[in-house]
C-alpha cells in the first residue's frame, strides 16, 4: 500500500486534484450546474480517499516524514517542490479532506455563479493541502497565499452581510469603513491575513539567510542551529504571522466578521482548517525550527492563549447573531489549541493537535448547520428564532452533538482534546493555565446550550414558517461530520497514535534530551 | 471464572448500547415509537438477567479488564475497561432493574406521545442505561468521568424531553450547567491527580494510598475538586438547585435518573474512591458537614413544597445527603446500603406519584384529596414507599437510615448526628404530609375519571413495592451487621413516629394549625426562607444574568468597539488621510510648481541636516 | 559592432516613418503604426542580439550591460505601447498616426541615448529629447480641453523641473570642471558643496521624470486626460529611463552611496506614503493607477536607497515587472473604456461576467502590482525589500510592507468591482485583436516572471555589478 | 562624501576681469530666482513661460561663467545646447498655450483646474 501511494505521488495527487477539478470546472462545465458539482465531488473524493489511504498506510513505527517527494525548482536558491507528511500534518490533511468533502455537499445549493464558486473553492483547497504537505518553506508560503487570496472573492461574492451598529468612541470609523457588510469582512480578512503573511515571509527569509542561504527545505533548516537571539525574533514573527491566522488575541477580529460573512463552505473550510493552519504553523515552524525560542517564549503563547479561551467564550456569549457565536467560539477554541501547544508536554501537544482536528470537524459541522438554518429561515438573529427543533429535528440533533463536542462532552472528539490540554496545562511549567482552560469549557457550555435552547427548543417562533429539515446532499455533510466527531471521540487513538510519533521527537528537540 | 464475570459485565454494558445504536441509527425503527420501546426494554431485560446471574452466581472475586485508550510515549496515558466487584455487581442489578421497570412503566405513562417522540425517549433511555452501567463498571477516574458526563447528557436530554415547553428547556440547561460546574472540578481534580501520580486507574491509586505515596502535597485540593463533581451530580449544597427543577422531565425519568440512579453517581463515586478520600481527612470532614447541612436544608424545603414531585425531589436531595454524610463520617457501607434501598423505594414513590399525576392531571397536592379511595392500588404502593422513606420498620429505609445514624454516632460527629436525626424527623413529617393531604385529606374536586394505572404502569409499581418489602424483610432478618445501641433504634423509630404524628395532627386531624405553626418564630423564619428556597435560585439567576451575561456583554462590547474599533479607527484614519492628502492636488498648475520648489527646498534642507549630523 | 547600432537603427526607422507620413493619404493612416511596430520589433530583436561593448576610457556614450538592459526594456515597452495604439481609435490618432509615432519614436530615441550617456551634456540633451515629445503627445488630442490642460501642466512642471535640473547641472560642471560623468564621479569624492547643490537640483529633474513625491503632481492629471495607450507607455518607459539616469549620475563609480542613500530613502518613504494614501479615494481607474504608480516609484526608490549593486539590480527587476503589470492594467482600462465609454471604476462592474479573460488579466496585473506570489510583482517587492534590509533600512522595509496592505486595499476594490458587483450592462465585451495581444503579452510577462524570475534576476545582478 | 575642511580647488582668478566668478554666479542666481518667482506667481501662462525662459537663461550665465573661469569651452558648448533646447521647449509651450486658448478660451493658469484630486 505504501509503495503504491509513493509510486503514484499520493501527496501531489491529493494536493493538485482539487486544482485540476477547478480548471476542469472553469473550462468545461460552463452552464451545467450538476456537472460542476460532480466534477467537484470527484476531484475532492480523490483527495479524500487518498488521504484516508495515506492515513491508514502511514508507518507508525518508522514515524518521521513519509510519502516523501522531491523535485528541484530553483536549485541555485535551494527551492524545491518537496512534500512529505508526519503524524501532525497527516492528521491535518485528513481534516482538510473531511471538511472539504462535507463542504462540497454543504454548498450544493449555491445558486449564483456556482461554476466560479466551486472553482475558487477547489483552488483554495489546493492551497490548504499544499501548506500541510509541503516541506519546502518557500513553496509552503506560496501555497499559503493561494489559500488566502480566493477568500476575498468567495466572501465578497457569495457571502452575507450582518448588522453592526456604529457605537463607542470609534463610531465614526464604523460608518467610514462599513463594518458588518460582506465587502468589509472580505477586505478585512484578506488584508489582515496578507499582513500576517508578511511576517511569515520575513521569518522564513531570516532563517534561510542565516542558515547559509542554501536551502528552503524544512529538513535542512531543522538540522541547522540558529542563534538564540535570532530565534526569538523569528519566533515572534512566526507567532504574529501565523497567530493572526490562528486568531490569537488581539489580532483575531478578522475572524468573527470574516466567518460570519462567508458562505457556508468557506466558513467551514476557513474556521475548520485555515485557522488550524495558523496553529500548525506555530507548532511546525515556530517550535520545530526554533526550539530554544519556543522554550523561552511559551509563557507568552500560553498566556495569550488563556486570554483567547476566556475572552472568546465571553464574546461568543454576548453575540446575538448565530454565525458570530460560532465564529467567536472558534476564537476561544483556537486559544485551547495554542494553550495545548504552549504547555510543551506530550499530553498538551497531542491535545493541541487533536483539538485542531476536533475543532475543525466540529466547527465545520456548526457552520454547515448554521448555513442550513440560514438558508431555510433567512435569519441569523438568534433571539428571533425558537422551536426550530420540531421542523428540523435532524439539524437540531446534529447541532446538539456539535455543541457537546465544543463543550468537551465525553464520547465526542472535543472531550479528548480538552482533557489532553488540561493534562498538559497542569503538568506544564505554568499550572495555573488549567484555570482559564477549565473556565473556558464551562463558558462554552453556557453559550452553546443557551443558543441551542433558544433556537431549537421552546415554543415555535411566530416569525418563521415553512421551515424544513436538511435534505438530499446536505445530509452527507452532516452525517460525515457527526460520524467523525463521535468515532474519534470514542477511539481517539485513531488520531493520536500517529500524532504522538511526531510530537514526542518535537518535544525532545525543544526540551532537550 | 473472573474472566467470565468480566465478560458478563461487558455483556450487560453492551446490550443497552446495542439498543441505543439500533435506535439511533435506524431511523424508521426509532420512529415506530412503541416498537423502539420494546427494543430497548428487551435489551435492558436481558441485561438484568445477566446482571442478576452475575450477582447471584458469579465468581464473587474482583475482576478488572483494561484496554489502552489514549496512546502515549511509553505506554498508554489512559485506559478504559471494566471492574467487577461488590459495588459494581450490586449497582448493575439496581440500574438494570430500575431501568427496566421504568421503561415498562413509560410505555403506559407516555401512551399519548407521538411515535417519533417516543422513539427518541427510548433511545435516550437506552443511552442512559448504557452510560450508567459504564459508570458503575469504571476501573478508573477517567472512564468514570466519561460516563459521568454521559449520564449528565441523558439527564439533560430527558429533562428537556418536552422541549417545546420553555420551563422544561430552562430546567434542562440549568441542570446541565450546574452539574457541569461541579464536573469541571472533577475533571480538574483527576487531571491533577494524574499529573502527580501518572495514572487515572483506581487500583494503582489505591495501592499508592496504601503504601503511603498518597497523600502528596496539595492532595487535599485534588480530592476537594473531585468531590465537587459529586456535589454537582448528587445535588449537594450549594449545587443542589438543579434537581427540583429537573422534575420538568417526564415522571418516569425523575424516578430513574433523578432519584434512583444518576444522582447517586456522586455517592457511588465517593464510595468507590473512598480509600483516597480517607487520605484527605479534611475533605472527608467537609463531605460529612455539607451532607448533613444539605440534608436538613432540603428537608425544610420539602416541608413547604406543594408540588408532589418537588417534594420527592427535595427528599431525594435530603436522602442523598444522608448518604454523603455517612461517607463523610467514615461509614461508606451504610451510605451505600442507603443508596441501594433508597433507589428502590424512591423509584417506587416517583412512579407512584407519576400514576397519581397521570390520574388527576395535577402536581399540586392541595388540589388532590381522598385519592386513596379513587386509586387504592396506587395509594397502597405509595404508602409502602412513604413508610420506607419515613423509616418505619420493617421497611428497608429504617435499616439503612439507622445504619447511617449508628455509623455517624460512632464516628463521634455529634453535630452531624443531631442534624441527621432532625432531618429524619422532618422526613417522616413531609412524607406523611403528602400522604395525608393527597390521599386522605379533603377532596377539592371530584375524581370520577380518576382510576388506577393501566397494567404496564401498575406492574412495575407492584414489583417495586414488593421488592421494597422483601429488601426490608431481608435486612430485618439477616442485616444489622452494625450493632446499633438499642436507644438509637428507639430514637429512630421515635423520630419517624413523631413526624407521622405531627403530620397527622396538622393535616389530617387539624389539631394543630399548619399555618399557625409556620408563623411562630423561629419556624416562621425557616418557613419563609424555605419557601423562597433560601434565595439560592435567585442568587444563581442573578449571577447568571447579572454577572456572567453582563460581563460577557461588556467583553463583547470591548471586542467589537475597542479592540476591533481600534483597527477600524486606523483604517478609517488611513482612508480619511488619503482624502485629505489628495487635497494638495488642487488642479492648479502653479500649485504643482510650488510642489517642485518645495521639493527642492526640502531636499536641500534634508541634505544639510544629513551632512551636519553629529 | 558600433555602440550606436540601436540608435542608428531607430534613426532609420524615424526617417522611414517620416517619409511614410509624407506619402500617406486618406484619413486613416494607422497602417503606419504597423510599420512602426515592425520596426520596433526588429530593433528589439537586434537589442537582444547585441552584447555589451566594453567602453573606451572616458567614453561619453557607452553600450554597457546596464544600457543594453535598459534599452531592451524601453523597446519592449514601446512594442506593447505601439501595439495597443494600433487598435481603432478616434480622430486624431488615426489621421495623424505618422505624427504620433514620430513623436513617440523621438522620445524613445531620447531614452536610448539617455541610457548610454556618460556625459552631462549628452544626458541633458537626451533627457530633453525624451521629454519634449511627451508634452506634445500628452496634448495630442488638441481639441480635447482636458487633454491640453493636462499637457500644459505636464509641460509647465516638466520645463520648470528641467530648468532647475539644468541649473544644477551647470553647478556640477562648474565644480567638477568637466561634463564627463566619470569626472563628476571623481569630483564627488571631494564633497564640494557646490557639486552637492548641483546634484540635488538635478535630482529635482529626475524626481519629476520618475514622479517621486512631491514632483509627481503632473502625473494624475496627465494620466487621466491623455490617451490611454500613450499613458500606458508614459507610465513605464520614461520612468525606467529616469531610474537609469539616476544610477548613472548618482551611483555609478561615485562611491557616494552612503550620502545619497538616506536622501533617496526619505524620498522613497514620502512617495510610498503619499502615493498609496492618495490612491485610496480615487474613483477614476487611470487616476488610481497614476497614484499607485507613484507608490511603485516609491518602492523602487527603496531599492535605490539601498545604494548597492543588489539594490540596483532589484530596481531593474522591479522596473520590468512594473512595465508588464502597469502597462497591462492600463491596457485593460483602455479595453473597458472602449466598451463602456468610461474610465470610471464603475465601468468595471461585473467585468468578470462580461469578459472573463479581461477580468482575469486585470486581476493578475493588480495582484502583481499588489505584490502577491505567483506573479511578477511579488518578487519585485520581495527583492527590493531584501536589498533594503541588507542595507540596514529596516524602517523603510517595515513602512513599505505596511503600506503594501493599503495598496492591496485599493487593488482589491477594483477586483471587487470586477468580480463581486453585478454588471450594469449585459452582453459580452468584444475585444480588439491588437489590444488583446498586447494584454496577453503583459499577462505572459507578469506570469512568466512570477513563476520563473531567476534568469532576469541574474541578468539584472550582472548588469548592476559594475556600477559599484 | 567628505565634509567641511577638506582641500578644495578654488577657481583660479582670471586676469583682466574686474569682477570674479562669484559675481556671475550671484547674477545667475538672481535671474533664476526672478524666473522662479515669475513662474510661481504669474497667472498668465505666457508669463509663466517667460519665467521659465529666465530660469534657463540663468543656467546659461552660469555655464558661460564657469567656462570662462574654468578655462575650457565645454561650458559654452553646454550653453549652446541649452539654448537650443530652450527654444524647442518654448516652441512646444507656446503651441500648447495656443491650443489651450482655442479649446478653453483662457490662458489663466488658475482656471485650468478641471483635473484635480
Q: Which of B586, B590, B604 is the best substitution to test chain D (most D C-beta atoms within 10 A)?
A: B590
C141–chain D nearest CA distance, Å: 10
CB contact under 8 A, D6 and C191: yes
Does C467 or B168 have the greater pLDDT score?
A: B168
pLDDT tens digits along B392-402:
878 888 888 88
Residues D36, C429: Cα–Cα separation, whole Å: 50
- Set of chain A residues whose Cβ sits within 8 Å of the Cβ of B187: 419, 422, 438
**Is A339's pLDDT higher than 90?**
yes
Write the CATH number for D105. 1.10.287.3510
C145 within 8 A of C208, measured Cβ to Cβ: no
C249–chain D nearest CA distance, Å: 15
Query: Residue D5: what pLDDT?
Result: 38
B456 within 8 A of B370, measured Cβ to Cβ: no
- Average pLDDT for D38-59: 91
HSE (side-chain half, CA atoms, 13 Å) at C121: 21
Q: Work out the angle at residue A312's Cα, subtended by the Cα atoms of residues A309 and A317, and round it to the nearest 5 degrees.
A: 125
CB contact under 8 A, B555 and A387: no
- How big is the C-D interface in CB pairs under 8 Å? 144
Instruction: Find cell 486568531 and name the residue.
Output: A247
CB contact under 8 A, C217 and B581: no
Report C:414-433 residues touching A (Cβ under 8 A): 415-416, 419-420
Model confidence at D4, pLDDT cuts 50, 70, 90, reads very low
**Among B287, B183, B298, B281, residue whose Cα is nearest residue B241:** B298
Give chain D's domain count.
1
Q: Which one of A176, A317, A387 has the shortest CB-CB distance to B164?
A: A387
Chain A neighbors (3+ CB pairs < 8 Å): B, C
Query: Residue B86: what pLDDT?
Result: 86
What was the ipTM of the complex prediction?
0.87
**What does pTM read for this prediction?**
0.89
A86 within 8 A of A65, measured Cβ to Cβ: yes
- Average pLDDT for A261-278: 88
CB contact under 8 A, C412 and A190: yes
- Set of chain D residues whose Cβ sits within 8 Å of the Cβ of C167: 28, 32, 55, 58-59, 62
B352 within 8 A of B377, measured Cβ to Cβ: no
Chain B neighbors (3+ CB pairs < 8 Å): A, C, D
**Is D1's pLDDT higher than 50?**
no
CB contact under 8 A, D39 and B593: yes
- Set of chain A residues whose Cβ sits within 8 Å of the Cβ of C374: 142, 145-146
Query: Residue A432: what pLDDT?
Result: 92
CB contact under 8 A, A459 and B176: no
Query: Residue B446: what pLDDT?
Result: 61
**Is D13's pLDDT higher than 60?**
no
What is the three-state SS of A336-392?
A: HHHHHHHCCCHHHHHHHHHHHHHHHHHHHHHHHHHHHHHHHHCCCEHHHCCCHHHHC
**Is A352's pLDDT higher than 80?**
yes
Q: Which one of C151, C159, C221 has the shortest CB-CB distance to D89?
A: C159
Query: Residue C352: what pLDDT?
Result: 86
pLDDT tens digits along B90-144:
889 999 999 999 999 888 888 888 888 888 899 999 999 999 999 999 999 999 9
Query: Residue D7: what pLDDT?
Result: 41
Q: Does B56 touch chain C (CB under 8 A)?
A: no
CB contact under 8 A, B71 and A497: yes
Residues C67, C248: Cα–Cα separation, whole Å: 10
CB contact under 8 A, B599 and C157: no
Q: Is C319 exposed, middle or buried (0-12, 13-18, 19+ CB in 10 A)?
A: buried
**CA A33 remoteness from chain centre:** 28
Q: Does D2 touch chain B (CB under 8 A)?
A: no
What are the DSSP E strand ranges found in B437-575?
Answer: none
User: What's C350's DSSP letter?
Assistant: T
Instruction: Find cell 578644495 and name the residue.
Output: D8
Share of chain A above pLDDT 90, in %: 37
All structural domains of chain A with their residue ranges: 2-165+175-511
Strand B78-84 with B63-70, pairing = antiparallel
CB contact under 8 A, C214 and B589: no
- Set of chain D residues whose Cβ sits within 8 Å of the Cβ of B588: 109-110, 112-113, 116
Residues A500, A479: Cα–Cα separation, whole Å: 28
Query: Residue D95: what pLDDT?
Result: 92
**Is D47's pLDDT higher than 50?**
yes
Q: Which residue range forms the structural domain that includes residue D50?
A: 21-111
- How big is the B-D interface in CB pairs under 8 Å? 32
Residues 6+ apart with CB under 8 A from C442: C80, C324, C325, C327, C328, C331, C361, C365
Report B:563-592 residues touching D (Cβ under 8 A): 582, 585-590
Q: Which one of C125, C163, C174 has the shortest CB-CB distance to D81?
A: C125
Mean pLDDT (chain A) is 88
What is the three-state SS of B587-613?
A: CCHHHHHHHHHHHHHHHHHHHHHHHCC
**Among A90, A40, A102, residue whose Cα is nearest residue A65:** A90
All structural domains of chain C with their residue ranges: 256-468
CB contact under 8 A, D85 and C124: yes
Cis peptide before B13 (omega within 30 of 0): no
3-state secondary structure of A108: coil
CB contact under 8 A, B604 and C406: no
**Is C1's pLDDT higher than 70?**
no
Q: Does D75 touch chain C (CB under 8 A)?
A: yes
Q: Which one of D40, D48, D116 has the shortest CB-CB distance to B585?
A: D116
Q: Which one of C171, C178, C259 has the shortest CB-CB distance to D62?
A: C171
**Is D6's pLDDT higher than 50?**
no
What is the three-state SS of chain C?
A: CCCCHHHHHHHHHHHHHHHHHHHCCCCCCCHHHHHHHHHHHHHHHHHHHCCCCCCCCCCCECCCHHHHHHHHHHHHHHHHHHHHHCCCCCCHHHHCHHHHHHHHHHHHHHHHHHHHECEHHHHHHHHHHHHHHHHHHHCCCCCCHHHHHHHHHHHHHHHHHHHHHHHHHHHHHHHHCCCEHHHHHHHHCCCCHHHHHHHHHHHHHHHHHHCCCCCCCHHHHHHHHCCHHHHHHHCCHHHHHHHHHHHHHHHCCCCCHHHHHHHHHHHHHHHHHHHHHHHCCCCEHHHHHHHHHHHHHHHHHHHHHCCCHHHHHHHHHHHHHHHHHHHHHHHHHHHHHHHHCCCEHHHHCCHHHHCHHHHHHHHHHHHHHHCCCCCHHHHHHHHHHHHHHHCCCHHHHHHHHHHHHHHHHHHHHHHHHHHHCCCCCCCCCCCCHHHHHHHHHHHHHHHHHHHCCHHHHHHHHHHHHHHC
B226–chain A nearest CA distance, Å: 14
Q: Does C282 touch chain D (CB under 8 A)?
A: yes
**Is B33's pLDDT higher than 60?**
yes
CB contact under 8 A, C401 and A198: yes
Query: Residue B362: what pLDDT?
Result: 82
pLDDT tens digits along B321-374:
989 999 988 888 888 989 989 988 899 999 988 888 888 888 888 888 777 877
**Is A513's pLDDT higher than 80?**
no
- Are D and B touching by the rule of 3+ CB pairs within 8 Å? yes
Least confident range from B472-481, C223-232, D49-58: namely: B472-481
Amino acid at each position: 500500500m505504501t509503495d503504491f501511494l509513493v509510486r503514484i505521488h499520493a501527496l501531489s495527487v491529493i494536493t493538485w486534484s482539487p486544482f485540476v477539478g477547478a480548471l476542469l470546472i472553469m473550462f468545461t462545465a460552463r452552464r451545467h450546474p450538476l456537472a460542476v458539482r460532480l466534477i467537484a465531488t470527484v476531484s475532492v473524493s480523490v483527495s479524500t480517499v487518498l488521504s484516508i489511504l495515506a492515513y491508514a498506510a502511514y508507518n507508525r513505527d518508522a514515524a518521521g516524514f513519509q510519502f516523501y517527494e522531491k523535485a528541484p525548482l530553483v536549485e541555485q536558491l535551494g527551492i524545491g517542490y518537496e512534500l512529505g507528511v508526519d503524524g501532525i500534518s497527516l492528521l491535518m490533511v485528513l481534516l482538510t479532506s473531511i471538511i472539504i468533502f462535507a463542504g462540497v455537499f454543504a454548498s450544493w445549493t449555491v445558486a449564483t455563479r456556482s461554476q466560479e464558486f466551486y472553482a475558487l473553492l477547489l483552488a483554495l483547497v489546493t492551497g490548504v493541502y499544499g501548506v500541510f504537505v509541503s516541506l519546502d518553506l518557500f513553496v509552503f508560503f506560496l501555497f499559503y497565499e493561494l489559500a488566502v487570496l480566493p477568500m476575498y472573492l468567495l466572501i465578497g461574492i457569495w457571502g452575507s452581510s450582518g448588522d453592526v451598529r456604529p457605537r463607542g468612541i470609534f463610531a465614526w470609523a464604523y460608518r467610514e469603513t462599513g463594518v458588518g457588510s460582506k465587502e468589509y469582512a472580505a477586505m478585512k480578512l484578506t488584508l489582515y491575513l496578507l499582513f500576517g503573511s508578511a511576517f511569515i515571509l520575513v521569518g522564513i527569509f531570516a532563517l534561510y539567510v542565516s542558515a547559509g542561504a542554501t536551502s528552503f527545505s524544512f529538513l535542512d533548516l531543522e538540522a541547522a542551529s540558529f542563534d538564540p537571539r535570532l530565534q526569538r525574533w523569528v519566533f515572534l514573527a512566526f507567532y504574529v504571522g501565523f497567530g493572526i491566522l490562528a486568531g490569537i488575541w488581539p489580532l483575531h477580529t478578522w475572524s468573527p466578521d470574516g466567518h460570519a460573512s462567508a458562505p457556508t463552505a468557506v466558513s467551514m473550510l476557513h474556521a475548520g482548517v485555515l485557522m488550524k493552519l495558523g496553529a500548525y504553523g506555530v507548532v511546525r515552524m515556530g517550535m520545530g525550527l526554533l526550539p530554544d525560542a519556543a522554550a523561552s517564549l511559551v509563557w507568552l503563547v500560553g498566556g495569550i492563549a488563556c486570554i483567547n479561551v476566556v475572552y472568546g467564550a465571553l464574546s461568543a456569549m454576548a453575540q446575538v447573531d448565530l454565525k458570530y457565536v460560532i465564529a467567536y467560539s472558534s476564537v476561544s477554541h483556537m486559544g485551547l489549541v495554542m494553550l495545548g501547544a504552549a504547555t510543551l508536554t506530550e499530553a498538551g501537544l497531542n491535545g493541541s493537535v487533536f483539538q485542531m482536528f476536533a475543532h475543525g470537524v466540529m466547527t465545520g459541522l456548526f457552520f454547515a448547520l448554521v448555513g442550513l438554518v440560514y438558508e431555510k429561515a433567512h435569519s441569523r438573529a438568534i433571539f428571533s428564532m425558537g422551536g426550530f427543533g420540531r421542523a428540523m429535528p435532524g439539524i437540531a440533533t446534529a447541532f446538539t452533538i456539535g455543541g457537546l463536542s465544543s463543550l468537551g462532552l465525553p464520547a465526542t472528539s472535543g472531550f479528548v482534546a480538552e482533557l489532553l490540554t488540561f493534562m498538559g496545562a497542569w503538568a506544564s511549567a505554568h499550572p495555573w493555565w488549567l484555570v482559564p482552560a477549565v473556565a473556558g469549557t464551562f463558558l462554552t457550555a453556557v453559550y452553546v446550550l443557551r443558543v441551542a435552547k433558544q433556537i431549537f427548543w421552546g415554543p415555535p417562533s411566530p416569525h418563521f414558517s415553512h421551515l424544513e429539515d436538511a435534505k438530499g446532499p446536505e445530509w452527507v455533510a452532516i452525517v460525515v461530520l457527526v460520524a467523525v466527531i463521535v468515532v474519534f471521540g470514542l477511539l481517539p487513538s485513531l488520531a493520536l497514535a500517529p500524532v504522538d510519533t511526531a510530537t514526542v521527537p518535537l518535544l525532545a528537540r525543544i526540551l532537550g534530551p | 471464572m473472573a474472566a467470565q464475570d468480566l465478560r458478563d459485565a461487558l455483556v450487560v454494558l453492551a446490550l443497552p448500547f446495542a439498543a441505543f445504536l439500533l435506535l439511533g441509527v435506524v431511523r424508521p425503527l426509532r420512529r415506530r415509537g412503541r416498537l423502539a420501546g420494546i427494543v430497548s426494554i428487551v435489551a435492558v431485560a436481558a441485561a438484568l438477567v445477566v446482571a442478576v446471574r452475575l450477582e447471584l452466581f458469579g465468581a464473587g472475586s474482583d475482576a478488572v479488564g483494561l484496554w489502552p485508550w489514549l496512546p502515549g510515549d511509553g505506554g498508554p496515558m489512559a485506559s478504559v475497561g471494566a471492574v467487577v466487584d461488590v459495588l459494581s455487581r450490586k449497582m448493575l442489578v439496581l440500574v438494570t432493574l430500575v431501568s427496566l421497570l421504568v421503561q415498562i412503566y413509560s410505555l403506559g405513562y407516555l401512551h399519548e406521545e407521538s411515535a417519533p417522540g417516543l422513539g427518541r425517549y427510548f433511545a435516550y433511555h437506552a443511552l442512559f442505561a448504557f452510560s450508567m452501567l459504564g459508570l458503575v463498571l469504571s476501573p478508573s477516574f477517567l472512564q468514570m468521568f466519561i460516563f459521568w458526563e454521559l449520564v449528565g447528557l441523558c439527564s439533560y436530554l430527558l429533562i428537556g424531553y418536552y422541549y417545546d415547553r420553555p420551563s422544561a428547556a430552562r430546567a434542562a440547561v440549568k441542570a446541565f450547567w450546574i452539574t457541569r460546574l461541579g464536573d469541571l472540578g472533577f475533571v480538574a481534580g483527576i487531571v491533577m491527580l494524574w499529573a502527580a501520580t501518572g495514572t487515572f486507574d483506581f487500583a494503582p491509586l489505591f495501592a499508592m494510598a496504601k503504601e503511603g505515596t498518597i497523600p502528596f502535597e496539595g492532595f487535599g485540593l485534588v480530592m476537594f475538586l473531585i468531590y465537587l463533581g459529586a456535589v454537582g451530580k448528587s445535588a449537594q449544597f450549594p449545587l443542589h438547585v438543579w434537581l427540583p427543577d429537573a422534575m420538568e422531565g417526564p415522571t418516569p425519568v425523575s424516578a430513574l435518573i433523578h432519584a434512583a440512579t444518576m444522582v447517586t453517581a456522586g455517592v457511588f463515586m465517593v464510595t468507590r474512591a473512598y480509600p483516597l478520600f480517607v487520605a484527605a481527612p479534611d475533605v472527608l470532614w467537609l463531605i460529612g458537614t455539607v451532607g448533613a447541612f444539605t440534608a436538613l436544608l432540603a428537608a425544610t424545603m420539602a416541608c413547604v413544597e406543594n408540588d408532589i414531585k418537588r417534594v420527592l425531589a427535595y427528599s431525594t436531595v435530603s436522602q442523598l445527603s444522608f448518604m454523603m454524610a455517612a461517607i463523610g463520617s467514615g461509614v461508606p457501607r451504610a451510605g451505600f446500603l442507603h443508596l441501594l434501598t433508597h433507589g428502590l423505594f424512591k423509584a417506587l414513590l416517583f412512579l407512584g406519584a407519576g400514576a397519581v399525576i397521570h390520574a388527576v392531571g395535577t402536581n399540586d397536592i392541595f388540589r388532590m384529596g381522598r385519592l386513596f379511595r379513587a386509586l387504592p392500588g396506587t395509594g397502597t404502593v405509595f404508602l409502602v414507599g412513604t413508610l420506607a422513606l419515613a423509616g418505619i420498620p420493617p421497611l428497608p429505609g429504617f435499616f439503612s437510615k439507622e445504619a447511617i445514624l449508628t455509623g455517624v454516632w460512632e464516628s463521634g460527629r455529634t453535630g452531624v448526628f443531631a442534624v441527621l436525626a432532625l432531618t429524619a424527623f422532618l422526613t417522616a413529617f413531609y412524607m406523611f404530609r403528602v400522604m395525608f393531604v393527597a390521599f386522605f385529606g379533603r377532596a377539592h374536586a371530584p375524581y370520577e375519571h380518576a382510576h388506577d394505572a393501566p397494567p404496564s404502569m401498575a406492574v412495575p409499581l407492584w414489583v417495586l413495592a414488593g421488592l421494597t418489602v422483601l429488601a426490608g424483610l431481608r435486612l430485618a432478618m439477616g442485616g444489622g451487621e452494625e450493632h446499633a445501641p438499642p436507644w438509637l433504634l428507639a430514637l429512630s423509630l421515635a423520630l419517624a413516629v413523631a413526624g407521622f404524628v405531627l403530620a397527622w395532627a396538622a393535616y389530617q386531624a387539624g389539631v394543630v394549625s399548619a399555618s399557625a405553626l409556620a408563623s411562630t418564630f423561629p419556624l416562621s423564619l425557616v418557613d419563609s426562607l424555605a419557601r423562597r428556597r433560601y434565595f439560592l435560585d435567585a442568587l444563581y439567576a442573578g449571577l447568571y444574568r447579572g454577572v456572567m451575561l453582563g460581563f460577557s456583554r461588556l467583553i463583547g462590547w470591548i471586542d467589537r468597539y475597542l479592540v476591533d474599533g481600534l483597527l477600524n479607527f486606523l483604517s478609517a484614519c488611513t482612508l480619511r488621510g488619503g482624502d485629505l492628502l489628495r487635497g494638495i492636488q488642487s488642479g492648479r498648475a502653479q500649485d504643482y510648481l510650488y510642489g517642485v520648489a518645495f521639493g527642492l527646498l526640502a531636499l536641500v534642507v534634508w541634505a544639510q541636516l544629513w551632512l551636519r549630523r553629529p | 559592432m558600433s555602440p550606436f547600432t540601436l540608435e542608428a537603427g531607430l534613426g532609420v526607422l524615424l526617417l522611414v516613418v517620416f517619409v511614410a507620413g509624407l506619402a500617406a493619404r486618406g484619413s486613416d493612416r494607422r497602417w503606419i503604426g504597423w510599420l512602426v511596430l515592425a520596426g520596433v520589433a526588429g530593433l528589439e530583436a537586434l537589442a537582444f542580439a547585441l552584447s555589451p561593448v566594453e567602453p573606451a576610457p572616458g567614453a561619453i556614450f557607452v553600450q554597457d550591460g546596464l544600457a543594453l538592459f535598459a534599452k531592451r526594456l524601453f523597446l519592449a515597452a514601446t512594442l506593447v505601447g505601439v501595439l495597443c495604439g494600433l487598435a481603432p481609435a478616434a480622430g486624431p490618432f488615426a489621421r495623424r498616426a505618422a505624427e504620433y509615432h514620430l513623436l513617440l519614436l523621438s522620445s524613445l530615441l531620447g531614452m536610448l541615448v539617455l541610457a548610454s550617456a556618460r556625459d552631462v551634456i549628452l544626458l541633458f540633451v537626451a533627457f530633453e529629447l525624451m521629454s519634449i515629445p511627451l508634452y506634445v503627445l500628452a496634448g495630442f488630442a488638441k481639441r480635447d480641453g482636458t487633454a491640453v490642460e493636462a499637457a500644459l501642466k505636464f509641460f509647465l512642471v516638466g520645463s520648470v523641473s528641467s530648468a532647475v535640473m539644468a541649473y544644477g547641472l551647470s553647478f556640477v560642471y562648474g565644480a567638477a570642471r568637466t561634463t564627463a560623468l566619470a569626472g563628476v564621479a571623481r569630483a564627488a569624492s571631494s564633497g564640494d558643496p557646490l557639486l552637492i547643490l548641483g546634484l540635488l537640483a538635478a535630482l529635482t529633474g529626475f524626481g519629476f521624470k520618475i514622479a517621486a513625491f512631491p514632483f509627481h503632481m503632473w502625473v494624475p492629471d496627465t494620466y487621466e486626460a491623455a490617451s490611454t495607450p500613450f499613458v500606458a507607455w508614459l507610465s513605464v518607459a520614461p520612468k525606467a529611463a529616469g531610474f537609469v539616469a539616476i544610477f548613472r549620475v548618482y551611483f555609478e563609480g561615485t562611491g557616494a552611496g552612503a550620502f545619497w542613500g538616506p536622501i533617496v530613502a526619505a524620498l522613497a518613504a514620502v512617495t510610498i506614503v503619499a502615493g498609496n494614501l492618495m490612491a485610496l479615494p480615487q474613483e477614476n481607474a487611470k487616476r488610481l493607477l497614476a497614484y499607485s504608480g507613484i507608490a511603485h516609484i516609491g518602492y523602487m526608490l527603496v531599492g535605490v536607497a539601498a545604494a548597492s549593486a543588489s539594490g540596483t539590480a532589484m530596481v531593474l527587476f522591479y522596473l520590468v515587472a512594473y512595465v508588464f503589470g502597469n502597462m497591462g492594467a492600463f491596457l485593460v482600462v483602455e479595453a473597458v473604456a472602449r466598451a463602456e465609454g468610461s474610465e470610471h471604476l464603475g465601468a468595471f462592474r461585473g467585468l468578470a461576467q462580461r469578459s472573463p479573460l479581461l477580468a482575469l488579466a486585470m486581476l493578475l496585473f493588480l495582484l502583481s502590482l499588489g505584490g502577491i506570489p505567483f506573479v511578477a510583482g511579488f518578487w519585485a517587492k520581495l527583492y527590493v525589500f531584501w536589498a533594503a534590509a541588507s542595507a540596514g533600512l529596516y524602517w523603510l522595509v517595515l513602512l513599505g510592507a505596511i503600506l503594501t496592505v493599503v495598496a492591496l486595499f485599493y487593488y482589491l476594490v477594483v477586483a471587487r468591482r470586477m468580480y463581486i458587483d453585478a454588471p450594469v450592462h449585459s452582453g459580452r465585451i468584444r475585444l480588439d485583436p491588437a489590444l488583446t495581444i498586447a494584454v496577453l503579452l503583459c499577462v505572459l510577462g507578469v506570469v512568466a516572471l512570477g513563476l520563473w524570475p531567476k534568469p532576469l534576476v541574474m541578468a539584472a545582478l550582472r548588469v548592476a555589478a559594475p556600477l559599484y | 562624501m567628505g565634509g567641511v575642511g577638506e582641500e578644495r580647488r578654488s577657481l583660479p582668478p582670471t586676469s583682466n576681469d574686474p569682477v570674479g566668478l562669484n559675481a556671475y554666479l550671484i547674477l545667475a542666481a538672481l535671474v533664476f530666482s526672478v524666473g522662479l518667482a515669475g513662474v510661481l506667481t504669474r497667472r498668465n501662462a505666457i508669463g509663466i513661460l517667460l519665467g521659465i525662459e529666465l530660469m534657463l537663461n540663468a543656467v546659461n550665465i552660469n555655464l558661460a561663467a564657469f567656462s570662462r573661469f574654468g578655462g575650457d569651452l565645454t561650458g559654452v558648448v553646454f550653453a549652446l545646447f541649452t539654448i537650443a533646447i530652450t527654444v524647442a521647449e518654448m516652441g512646444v509651450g507656446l503651441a500648447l498655450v495656443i491650443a489651450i486658448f482655442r479649446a478653453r478660451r483662457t490662458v489663466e493658469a488658475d482656471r485650468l483646474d478641471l483635473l484635480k484630486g
